[in-house]
Structure 1
Amino acid sequence: MDHPASSRAGVIVSAPGRRASLRLSYANAAAWGLGNGLVSSTLVIYLGLELGAKNTALAAALILSAPQFLGLLRFSAPALIDRLADRKTFCVGCYAASALLLLLLPWAAAPGRLATPERSLVAMVAIWSLYHLLEYLGTVTLWSWLADLVPGRIRGAFIGHRERWLLVGTIVGMVATGIGTYLWRSHIENSATWNPGDRWLGYAAYALLGALAMLAATIPLMRMATVTTTASRPADHVRRRLAELLAPLGDARYWHLLLFGCTIAFFNGLTQSIQFLYPAAVLGLSLFAMLTLRSTMRLGQIAISPTMGRLADRFGNRPVMIACQAIVATGPAFYLLATSQAPWFVAGAWLAWIAYAGLNVCLPNLMIKLATPHLRAAYIAAYFAITGLTYGLATVVGGWLVDTFRDERFYAFGTTQIWGIYDLMFFLGWIGRTGSVVLLFMVIEPGAKPLSQLLRGEPQDATK
């Protein structure tokens, strides 16, 4: 039963205002997801390939990893919130600025805009990275804001429903981009005045539409309730902020979660660039085919996200994450099986990655449970900054390895089976992601019951 107002953890917000804000957060998720679907990493990589720059694997790695390096500045989010504005103003400002910056991406991608393709690629990476930095800062702030708006007893279900709206928007955007770019490419290739240099225009147009959709996504945020708190803060701002930033690293429970996060980030990053490059460069799959696979994955995630949230509320986040990570880990094995004669084995990977829905729901919920209310932003910022750095470094290493050893061939484990660098990378990704499941058994979740009790169907203590 809702009360006229909630003072949970010092938070003051009316019950009607809270309910309206949660509905608006769903609208924000749908619009932002639409923008992300229209201008996905896949589209940016295909757009970058149109530039004709050398070292394509490393170029794809930079597009994927450079934003993660700048993501270290997420540590500054809590201090910036206090220094520059309240959470609502800061969150809306970051998201709006990131969308406006993304409008420059089509300009940088125009062939001949800069002196060389390599310079154009650098400009694209810079814009893409700064866009992600501002998005990261906004996201850290948004989760801290939402944590105070959503009661703990329904938080998992809320995250699951919000994830569903985010995925709906993403799928619509991806389908629109896939069909639109396919039709554009077919049109120019069948035109009497066909110019191969015009293919980039189809990609650039959807990047522009994506930026506009993300800008529109800030409108629901502007209408959400401004959360105030009755909690007092010490006068020593600098010392307090430093202590808050370092607080997560002094929590042993947090280190267990961080170890898991860094492990999966490393093995995800190691194969990330070639997951996009291999289908295009080796298997010959079009952007439309890749976005169809990604959309299928998102549809599956839409279907299971609310269920993942309800299971997390009942049994805890850790059991859901263990099951989902075991499924997700099989993805690189399907890439390992795919060849130019049988390219559709990669579809198995995207079906397995439907299980990412459970991780997407449970990870932020678990971090919120670990932190005290005034440290939530610091816990979330530290996790995504450190794992993002790990992911970024691994992505660059993976791209460099592929470009360096692209022509090497060797026998796999002393057998007569000949492997190339792609095969080795996918094998390492499969083994590493599978091994990370073991680390989840070390994660400590407040209020969760031992696995033996969960197997008997006893729910967790969801009071926090």
Structure 2
Amino acid sequence: MRSMIAGTYVRSPGLRPSFRFVTVAGCLAMVYVTGVTSPLSTKFFRSIGATDLDIGLLGGIPLLMLFMQFVGAYAANHIKARKPVFMVLVIMSRLIYIPVAFMPILLPPAYRDMSITVLLLLLTASAATGNFAVPLWYSWMADLIPKRIMNRYWGARQSWMQGTWVLSFLVVAWFVHTMNLPVIRAFGLLATIGVTAGVLDILLFAWVREPPHKVTKSATPLKSLLAPFTHPEYRTFLLYSCTWAASVMTAAAFMQVYALETLKLPLGAATLIWCVPGIGHALASRFWGRIADRFGQRPVMVICTFFKPLIVVVFLMATPSTAFWLLPMAFALDGVWNAGNFIGANGYSMKIAPRENRSAFMAAIMALTGICGGLASVGGGMFLKSFSGISLTVIGRTWTNYHFLFIMSFFMRLACAGLVHYVRDPKSSGTRHVLMHFRGAWPLRTFRYPVGLEK
């Protein structure tokens, strides 16, 4: 007997409750993410004295802690019970955001000048413990979810998660617009709600089934961690993914600051606009999941990587008078490409990684892309600082250091559109074949696909 779980048919009765808990937990995780990373958080960091370089560090240094995933991957290969270790570490990671949110109150006046340093240390500790747990979770989920429905399940789960993220952002926008609280108090309240949801998210995993885990005993730590780099297909995928992460984070880490300070968007409007990518992501996730299950992950990544540079073009074109209507349209489409990239890359990495050392393979892709993205974020902050005050007037418009940074990100993304073609998956269909499948469906059926009206 089959049952529909988050839009995916599951034959095994034993998996149904686990899939439900994993999906609900993912939705709670989106509440947590919104509570601690909304545009209000950028205002909070600015209110305690963060500069452009500090914003780059705040976005980049915790990402550099992704190297802890290599440590977690080695531990995952030697731990039989992944569940309790994962739960304890992630709960610790999320609770650290409480002292972050209330640091202006908790830190004595004599030490206020150290606010940014303390903030960086706390966020680094949070990122380190959380990233240690990531390979444990991916290894667990890869054993739990059958390969035949993996992409569809991830797509359906992403739809629910992104829908929750959108609703959470709308609530934050309403809160910012109506409550009119000081930034420090408002962020403290939202972060507390977010952390509460984040802890509940992890507690739900107590009821998620953990399949027997194959413990690796023979491989040395070095041999185990180097395995992804000696795998030809995975090595190419790593190169593409790292380049892609760097190209995206070069600009993405500063888009909120640019929208608030250069495009002069009100905080409430920026919060509303930043929820729009979640709408596109939620609507497109099931569509890309079905496409990936039918044609393979590679063509999905090729298509979505090709269109991803468009968001940078929109930021270059936007002005204070056009940003409010131009950015939402661009972000909606950007969410569609984000969904495809997530489904494609996630499914490809899980499919190609060998079961006996899957955690090391997942750690390599997650950690290295995060490190490259973190370095790009820090580099972007240094670039903005170095070119601060420098501008050019061309065709009647003033171009600043932010524009120069976005142009650099645009060309890096274009390079990735060529690099993704080198990712190999013999079982995937060709990109042209997938596009031919779309031809008869465009535009009406393609817009119906994401909401499940076409099977």
User: Which of the five TM-score ranges fits, normalised by the shorter chain?
Assistant: 0.7 to 0.9
Identity within the alignment, %: 22
Structure 1 range deviating more: 88-97 or 355-364? 88-97
Cα distance, 1:264 vs. partner?
Answer: 1.6
Map of 1:227 onto structure 2: 211
Q: In the alignment, does 2:381 pair up with 1:399?
A: yes
User: 1:423 corresponds to which residue?
Assistant: 403
Residue of structure 2 equivalent to 1:119: 114
Q: Quick check: 1:168 aligned with 2:163? A: yes
Matching of residues 358-437 of structure 1 within 5 Å: 358-410=340-392, 418-437=398-417
- Aligned residue identity for 2:383: L
Q: Secondary structure at the match of 1:17?
A: coil
TM-aligned CA distance change 1:356 to 1:200, over 3 Å: same
Question: Secondary structure at the residue paired with 1:228?
Answer: coil
* Pairs within 5 Å for 1:188-207: 198-207=182-191
Partner SS state of residue 171, structure 1: helix
Q: Name the TM-score, length of structure 1 as normaliser.
A: 0.86
Corresponding letter in the other structure for 1:180: F
Match of 2:27 among 30, 40, 44: 30
C-alpha contact 1:269 1:391 (8 A) present in aligned 2: yes
1:254 to 234, 237, 260: 234
Contact 2:216–2:356 (Cα < 8 Å) also in 1: no
Distance change >3 Å, CA 325–CA 117, structure 1 → 2: farther
In structure 2, the partner of 1:342 is 322
- Tell me by how many angstroms 1:232 deviates: 6.5
Question: In 1, are the aligned partners of 2:74 and 2:221 still within 8 Å (CA)?
Answer: yes
2-structure distance, mates of 1:292, 1:361: 25
Residue aligning to 2:447: none
Counterpart of 1:48 in structure 2 is 45
Quote how far apart the aligned CAs of 1:343 are. Answer: 2.7
Query: Cα deviation per residue 1:368-404 (whole Å; 9 max; x = unaligned)?
Result: 1111112221111111211111111111111121122
**1:100 positional shift:** 1.7
The match for 1:269 among 239, 249, 269 is 249
Task: Kindly state the Cα deviation for residue 269 of structure 1 after the two structures are TM-superposed.
Answer: 2.0
Matched residues in 1 for 2:341 and 2:295: separation? Answer: 15
Aligned residues of 2:306 and 2:417 also touching (Cα < 8 A): yes
Contact 1:81 / 1:90 at 8 angstroms: preserved in 2?
no
Paired with 1:129 and 1:242, the residues of 2 have a C-alpha distance of 25
Q: Map Cα deviations across residues 176-203 of structure 1 (whole Å, 9 max, x no partner).
A: 2222123232xx5xxxxxxxxx431011
AA partner of residue 214 (structure 1): G
- Is the Cα contact below 8 Å between 1:47 and 1:204 reproduced in 2? no
1:158 alignment partner in structure 2? 153
Measured after TM superposition, the shift of residue 348 of structure 1 is: 4.1
Matched-pair contact (CA < 8 Å) for 1:35–1:211: yes
C-alpha distance in 1, partners of 2:310/2:372?
A: 21
Point out the more displaced range, 239-248 or 57-66. Answer: 239-248
The answer to whether the aligner puts 1:351 opposite 2:351 as a matched pair is no
Report if the CA contact (8 A) 1:51-1:111 is conserved. no
CA spacing shift, 1:132–1:43, aligned 2, 3 Å: farther
Equivalent AA in structure 2 for residue 267 of structure 1: S
Counterpart selection for 1:215 from 193, 199, 221:
199
**One of 36, 41, 57 as aligned partner of 1:39:** 36
Q: Which region of structure 1 is more displaced relative to structure 2, 441-450 or 158-167?
A: 441-450
User: Which residue of the partner structure matches residue 444 of structure 2?
Assistant: none
Alignment check: 8 A CA contact 2:301 2:340 kept: yes
Offset of 1:86 from its aligned partner?
1.6
Length-normalised TM-score, structure 2: 0.87
Alpha-carbon distance change, 205 to 253 in structure 1, aligned in 2, over 3 angstroms: same
Check whether the contact 1:334–1:349 (CA below 8 A) recurs between aligned residues.
yes
Select the residue among 21, 24, 35 that pairs with 2:18: 21
Supply the RMSD in Å over aligned alpha carbons: 2.4
User: Are 2:68 and 1:73 equivalent residues in the alignment?
Assistant: yes
Report deviation, 1:165.
Answer: 2.1
Q: How many residues align?
A: 428
Partner of 1:115, secondary structure, is: helix
Listed one character per residue, the Cα deviations across residues 212-237 of structure 1 (whole Å, up to 9, x for unaligned) are 110010122110112114x5743x4x
**Could you tell me which of 324, 338, 352 is aligned with 2:304?**
324
Given that residues 367 and 376 in structure 1 are in contact (C-alpha distance below 8 angstroms), is that contact kept between their aligned partners in structure 2? no
2:95 alignment counterpart: 100
More displaced, 149-158 or 37-46? Answer: 37-46
Shift of 1:418: 4.3
Quote the Cα distance in structure 2 between the aligned partners of 1:117 and 1:324.
Answer: 45
Select between 41-50 and 299-308 the one with higher mean Cα deviation: 41-50
CA shift digits 1:128-165 (9 cap, x unpaired): 23223333333322221111111111100011011122
Shift of residue 452 of structure 1?
5.4
Q: Give the gaps of 5 or more residues in structure 1.
A: 3-13, 189-197, 459-464
CA distance in 2, matches of 1:99, 1:377: 22
1:179 counterpart = 2:163: no
Residue 339 of structure 1 and its aligned partner are, at CA, apart by 2.2
Paired amino acid for 1:281 = E
Aligned mates of 1:285, 1:116 — CA distance in 2: 33
Contact 1:258–1:383 (CA<8 Å) still a contact in 2? yes
Question: What amino acid is the match of 2:204?
Answer: P
Aligned to 2:442: none
What's the offset of the Cα at 1:84?
5.9
What secondary structure does 1:90 align onto? helix
Please name the residue that 1:191 is paired with.
none
